[in-house]
């Protein structure tokens, strides 16, 4: 926001506070307003608000860690680079628990019905702290992601969900011993999954903080 003081009469020690007599306090144009001796640019106010809407917004999300027969359910696409793999998941909706969010996102992106059984990892991604990181599709600059271990309830004959991610190209059961060689989002995903599975059920959630690479 830019504030430019307008010329007015000098005030002495006993003068009353407020705008000089005759100051225009009406809206001059669609873009600027003069009030109390200052001019405020409304276009810049809107730009500030837009920045707070995206980069300044924290986005809650959940993902599903679905493992069966030594294979993990992963989605793949070409963002942020070709051949990238990630866990099915996405943003939390109003009135929805994080566990329910994970169940919905797994179904929408893969077609597999699951039940969230245990929160295993809580991780943050603050884009400004990772110059080589990716830009989120939501426009947010800060994401808090809850990873749930999920149990398969029902699987379609052919993998594929009804509301796939916009950058999603496919979904596959990937052998756990192949995970380390894949480009993933985040890059630390293979290590996170390996650690969660090695700990087994009942360990409780691990908070990883702002972790990316």
Mean pLDDT value of segment 18-41: 45
Which pLDDT score is estimated for 134?
A: 72
Give the number of other CB atoms < 10 A from CB of residue 25.
10
Collapsing DSSP to helix, strand or coil, 199 comes out as: helix
Is residue 111 within 8 A of residue 159, CB to CB? The reply is yes
Question: Would you place residue 58 in the very low, low, confident or very high pLDDT band (cuts 50, 70, 90)?
Answer: confident
Question: If you write DSSP's letter for every residue of 9-62 in order, what string do you get?
Answer: ----TTPPSSSPTT---SB-SSSEEEETTEEEEHHHHHHHHHHHHTTT-EEEEE
CA–CA gap between residue 128 and residue 130 (Å, rounded):
6
Mean pLDDT value of segment 120-137: 86
Please give the backbone phi and psi of residue 97, each rounded to the nearest 5 degrees, phi first. -75, 160
For residue 54 the two structure tokens come to: 């995206």
Sole residue written with tokens 């001796």: 37
Give the number of other CB atoms < 10 A from CB of residue 73.
24
Percent of the chain with pLDDT over 70: 73
Is residue 149 within 8 A of residue 49, CB to CB? The reply is no
Q: What residues does each domain of the chain span? A: 3-53, 59-210
Which is more confidently placed, 199 or 39?
199
Which pLDDT score is estimated for 186?
A: 94
pLDDT in tens, 146-204: 999 999 999 999 999 999 988 899 999 999 999 999 999 999 999 999 999 999 888 99
Q: Which fold has domain 59-210?
A: Nucleoside Triphosphate Pyrophosphohydrolase (3.90.79)
Distances (CA, A) of 146 to 58, 114, 152, 198: 13, 16, 18, 18
Question: If you write DSSP's letter for every residue of 123-157 in order, what string do you get?
Answer: EEEEGGG-TTSPPPTT--SEEEEEEEEEEEEE--S
What do you get for the CA distance between the two ends of the chain, in Å? Answer: 36
Question: Would you place residue 93 in the very low, low, confident or very high pLDDT band (cuts 50, 70, 90)?
Answer: very high
Single pTM value for the model: 0.72
Q: Please give the mean pLDDT across all residues of the chain.
A: 81
């Amino acid at each position: 926001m830019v504030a430019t003081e307008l010329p007015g009469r000098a005030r002495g020690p006993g003068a009353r506070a407020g705008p000089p007599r005759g100051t225009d306090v009406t809206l001059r144009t669609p873009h600027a307003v003069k009030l109390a001796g200052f001019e405020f640019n409304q276009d810049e106010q809107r730009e500030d608000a837009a920045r707070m809407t995206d980069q300044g917004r924290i986005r809650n999300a959940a993902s599903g860690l679905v493992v069966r027969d030594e294979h993990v359910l992963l989605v793949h696409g070409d963002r942020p680079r070709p051949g990238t793999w990630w866990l099915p998941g996405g943003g939390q909706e109003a009135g929805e628990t994080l566990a329910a969010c994970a169940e919905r996102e797994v179904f929408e992106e893969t077609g597999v019905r699951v039940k969230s059984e245990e929160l295993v990892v809580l991780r943050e991604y603050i884009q400004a702290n990772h110059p080589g990181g990716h830009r989120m599709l939501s426009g947010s600059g800060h994401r808090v992601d809850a990873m749930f271990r999920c149990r398969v309830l029902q699987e379609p004959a052919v993998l594929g969900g009804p509301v796939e991610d916009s950058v999603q190209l496919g979904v596959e059961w990937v052998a756990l011993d192949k995970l380390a060689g894949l480009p993933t989002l985040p890059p630390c995903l293979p290590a996170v999954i390996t650690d969660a599975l090695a700990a087994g059920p009942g360990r409780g959630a691990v908070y990883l903080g702002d972790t990316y690479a």
